[in-house]
Amino acid sequence: MIRETVATLPVPSAAQRDIDGLTRDVATHDAHASEVAALHAIELRQGPATAPLALPFRVGAWNLERCLFPPASAAHASDCDVLLLSEMDCGMARTGQSHTTAEVAGKLDMGYAYAVEFVETGLGSPIEAEFCADTQNAIGFHGNAVLSRADLGAPFALRLHGHRQWFDDAEQPRVGERIAIGARVETAAGPMLLIAAHLESACSAAHRQAQIAGLIDALDTEFPGLPALIGGDLNTGNHAGGNWRAEGLFALAEAAGFTRHGGDEAVPTTRPSLITRWPERAMKLDWFLARGVTLGPVEIRSSIAPDGTPLSDHDMIVADVLRLSLGK
């Protein structure tokens, strides 16, 4: 588990971002990744507010698909007290080299904890290259974040290890693995954990089940008895004909005391976007998993901005935290 925090993640060297001559296997990947300091730390910046969150408070989980539009995305989520975000760029040409998490947090007067999922060694897909004014990335980070109006205590991140398949991807070569990032937040009812998770898409349901199992095991070991809310893109139904009910991760989570919350089960959480242009883009990928936490109804909030721009290929899921129950 990653526990080290820094004010600013260190920028990888040019050599660390050049993987062209490396053998594409797990051992080589992990040896190379071990030298990239940004993959082993969390960027933590606290916001101006320090008081515990009063209940009820609102949580949004949103895969922002690189976050092409930080100000508009922040406005779309301005009623939330906590945001669990995934696919957030930092120093990528396709998003204007901006630190998208810091921009969203700044617009909302929130603090944030940010962890790097991948160091991108290219510009992205051919479609993403259309958004690039520069010919290279200034930094190359792509990751997940927890944003909060209250202080973020004991931040942590956990690699959700897999097959390192993106290391060998011709279109989007990357160093790193999927990641979950979380923190302890004080509320008027006591402390709780808030975790942004992003599971693998290019894999089997069994792979995602193992990723959730590893995350729950880590929470039980490091934070026994604390109420926990996991939210994010669980990629349910990918490589299973779109059938999210075929995912074993839900039964596993339920056996560990977590309840599933995704709004109307017939309503998808994905859509076509400026990057993902498939007209048939309609899957149910985004969920909350709650233990010791009572949630209100889940809203599936369209990611279409007031001007008609799609902010992401995922809609945001939003719910109010109503009550907590301590202990298992």
Quick one: tokens of 113? 């904890």
Give the global pTM.
0.97
> How crowded is the C-beta side of 298, counted as CA atoms within 13 Å?
25
Rg (CA), the chain: 18
Give the span between the Cα atoms of 278 and 301, in whole angstroms.
20
Cβ contact 183:154 at 8 Å: yes
Cross-strand pairs, 86:
63
CA atoms of 51 and 186, how far apart (whole Å): 8
* All domains of the chain in start order, with CATH: 5-324 (3.60.10.10)
Which residues have C-beta within 8 Å of that of residue 314, sequence separation ≥ 6?
62, 63, 64, 65, 233, 269, 270, 271, 285, 286, 303
Beta-bridged to residue 57, according to DSSP, are 321
pLDDT of 162 reads 80
Q: Are 175 and 167 in contact (CB under 8 A)?
A: yes
* Cα 315 to Cα 276: distance, rounded to the nearest angstrom: 13
Q: Give mean pLDDT in consecutive 10-residue pieces for the chain, a chain of 328 residues.
A: 98 94 93 97 93 97 98 98 98 98 98 97 93 96 98 97 84 92 97 97 91 97 97 87 89 98 96 92 94 98 98 98 82
CA–CA dist 238, 217 (Å, integer):
24
Task: Identify the three-state secondary structure at position 254.
Answer: helix
pLDDT at 328: 46
